[in-house]
Amino acid sequence: MSGVWVFKNGVIRLVENPQAETSSSRKKALVHLPSGQVVSSYSTLEQILTGLGWERYYGGDPDLFQFHKRSSIDLISLPRDFSKFNSVYMYDIVIKNPNIFHVRDM
């Protein structure tokens, strides 16, 4: 069995042909809920995450932009190029910061 597991509207399902799904899907945006601001750059994201107790992590892969929290084992790893920042990375941030971020369709 091959394909991609997709989580949408509280339901997880296996998609056999993920290319067909992505062509019809809308672009996503990461929204900071307290301010209502759409995260449009890593500098904006870094300011928000720093305010939440996250720190830049420099010990990892040089091709990644990483953050960690001293109080947990969580690590947020993002591609250094913001144009490659997609919904997978957005949902990782949402899961690690409940009630702070939300992913919306544009």
What does the alpha-carbon distance between residue 75 and residue 62 come to, in Å, rounded to a whole number? 15
* Residue 101 counted as domain residue: yes
For tokens 């990644």, name the residue. Answer: 64
* Residue 71 counted as domain residue: yes
pLDDT of 59 reads: 84
Q: Maximum distance among all alpha carbons in the chain?
A: 43
pLDDT of 1 reads: 54
* Residue 4 counted as domain residue: no
pTM (2 d.p.): 0.73
Report the domain count for the chain: 1
* Residue 96 counted as domain residue: yes
Residue 13 has pLDDT above 90, yes or no: no
For residue 66, the domain's CATH number is 3.30.920
- State the residue range of the domain holding 64: 31-105
Calculate mean pLDDT across residues 50-56: 96
* Residue 25 counted as domain residue: no
Residue 87's nearest CA partner among 103, 64, 63, 66 is 103
What does the alpha-carbon distance between residue 9 and residue 84 come to, in Å, rounded to a whole number? 24
